[in-house]
Amino acid sequence: MKITDLIKQQKTPFFSIEITPPVKTKSIQPIFATIERLLPYNPAFINVTYHPQKISKTKIDNTDYEVISQKHANQIGLCAAIKYKYDVEVVPHFVCAGFNKIQVEDALFDLMFLGIENILALRGDAKSENEAFQPVDGGYRYANELISQIKAMKKSRFISHNEHNEPLDFCVGAAGYPEKHYEAKTIYDDIANLKRKIDCGADYIITQICYDIDKFTDWINHCRHSGIHVPIIPGIKPLTSDKQIDTLKEIFHVNIPEDIESKIKSTKSKEEKWNIGIQHSIELSKKLLNAGAAGIHYFTMGSGKDAEDVIKEVYKKTEE
C-alpha cells in the first residue's frame, strides 16, 4: 500500500521508524530485534537507509580491476526481507549519489518485482563539506530530477526499456529541512527547492530531525504558503548521550536547544541523560501531534530502545 493511502486511512496519529542496514559481515538478527521491539506499537511503515558504494582498484594476476564494494547490506534486499517477514510497508531510500539513470531504472524494476511501491528520493551527501556534490556520469545533481524519472515511469516513459509498456506507479517521499539544508543560503531558498520536488511529483515529505517546535511550525506555515500541500511527517531522534548531541550537530547539521543540551551534558549519570532525553522527545512528540502532525517518524540508529521508550508513552495516549 502506498504511504499516502496509509496516511489517509489512519484514524489516530501514526508513527514510522527508520533503520540502517547492517554491515554485510554482520548478522541481520539485530535489525529484526529492533523491529520486533517496536512492532507491538504498530508502525505504519519502515524506512531503510542507503549507504553509497565505494569504487577502488585492485590487482589480480598482474591485471588492474575496478572493484565496486558496499560496506552495508543492500537496502532493497533488506526491505524485501522485512516486508514479507513482518507484513509491514517498507520504504527504501534512493539517492542520486553513486547512481546513473539506468541503474536507477533497473533498481526500480527490482522493486516492482518485489511488490515494493514506496520510495524516499534523496540527493545524498557530497563526499565532504568542502566540496560541492558531484553526480556520477549519467546521474542526477538534484533530488527533483530523480523524482521526475521515477514519476515518468507511471506514464510508461523509460530510459533503457522502451519495450516495457506497463506503467510503474511508485509513491515517492522527499526530504524537508525545518532548519534549512546546510547548503541553502536561506530558509526560503530551501523551501523553493522543496517545492520543486513537489512539482516534480513527490507525494509526501519526511523532515530532517528538528527539536524546536516553534521552528517546525513556522516552517510548516512557510511551506503551506508556498503551495506545498502534501503530508509532512516530522522526524525525531531521541537524545540520550553527549556523543549523540555532538554527532547530530557536526554531521547532520541539526541545532540542539540550549536547555536540553545543557541538561544532558551537565549530568554524569548515563541513566539520567537517557531519562532527560526521552522525556524531552515525549513532550516534543505530543506538541507536534497537537500542532496537527498526522504522525511522527523516529530515527532509531541502533537497538530502538530509545524510540520504544518514547513511542510507548506517546501512542498509548493517542489510543485512549
Listed by start position, the domains of the chain span 3-318
| Identity of the amino acid at 180 | K
Closest alpha carbon to 106 in 57, 161, 30: 161
Q: Is the dihedral of CA 268, 272, 278, 280 positive or negative?
A: negative
Helix (H) or strand (E) holding 105: helix 101-114
**Which pTM value belongs to this model?**
0.90
* CA 232 – CA 176 distance, rounded (Å): 8
Q: Which residue has the cell 536561506?
A: 186
Using CA atoms, how far residue 207 sits from 101, 138, 266, in Å, is 25, 28, 29
The alpha carbon torsion through 109, 55, 92, 241 (nearest 10 deg) reads 180
- For 266-289, what is the HEC assignment? CCCCHHHHHHHHHHHHHHHHHHHH
CATH of domain 3-318: 3.20.20.220
**Got the DSSP string for 203-226?**
-EEEEEE---HHHHHHHHHHHHHT
Using CA atoms, how far residue 124 sits from 128, 133, 201, in Å, is 11, 8, 19
How buried is 39 (Cβ within 10 angstroms: 0-12 exposed, 13-18 middle, 19+ buried)? Answer: middle
* Burial track 83-104 (b if 16+ CB lie within 10 A, e otherwise): beeeebbbbbbbbbbbbbbeeb
Would you write out the chain's pLDDT as a tens digit for each of its 320 residues? 999 999 999 888 999 999 988 887 788 899 999 999 999 999 999 999 986 666 666 777 777 776 565 677 788 999 999 999 999 999 999 988 878 889 899 999 999 999 999 999 998 776 665 577 787 888 888 999 999 999 998 888 888 766 666 888 999 999 999 999 988 999 999 999 999 999 999 999 999 999 999 999 999 999 999 999 999 999 999 999 999 999 998 888 889 999 999 999 999 999 999 999 999 999 999 999 999 998 999 998 778 899 999 999 998 744 44
Phi, psi (rounded to 5 degrees) for 36 = -65, -25
